[in-house]
Amino acid sequence: MSKYLGKKFFLNLFIVICIFSLDRISKFYVINLSKNNDTNILLLSKYLNISLTWNEGIAFGLFSFNKIFFYNLMTFLILIVVIIIFIMIMKNAGLKQFSLLIIFGGAIGNLYDRIYFNAVPDFIDFHVGNFHWFIFNVSDIFITIGVLLMIAMELIDYKKGADEKI
């Protein structure tokens, strides 16, 4: 256990706390601005809207349910995934560990909201004309970056392994 509580532990903890805090601050700001202005639409522009929506599903509003049983089951499954990511963080190093840390930071941000609000506040809406991407939040940004880093590392490792076989 002492090997996990060294200098690296505090750096990793700092990364997760920064991501979680940035997410909390952004959500707190948007939720309060929405309450104070009595509207969910806070900014409209050519390519970006800030519009508060409450996501009861998983990533990008997928699998939204009205039934409390399914919501609680999904929240429990997400908790299991967060625990698995935490275990993977302990077993990895380098860029892979960093990728898992930023996924973990974003995941606990959204998990906190699922437990506290029974929904995740999403508010960033990129669009081109009438085509709108899924509405997301700061946690989703970090989760996506972490997943993209993991995919890139796997592709690089696969390419390196294929080159070594030649």
Say which of 23, 113, 125, 140 is annotated catalytic.
Answer: 140
- Tell me the pLDDT tens digit for each residue of 22-68: 999 999 999 999 999 888 888 889 999 999 999 887 655 555 555 77
pLDDT reported for residue 33? 94
- Tell me the pLDDT tens digit for each residue of 8-27: 999 999 999 999 999 999 99
Active-site residue 38, yes or no? no
Asked if residue 86 lies in contact with residue 97, where contact means CB atoms within 8 angstroms, the answer is: no
Active-site residue 140, yes or no? yes
CB-count burial class (<10 Å; 0-12, 13-18, 19+) for 149: middle
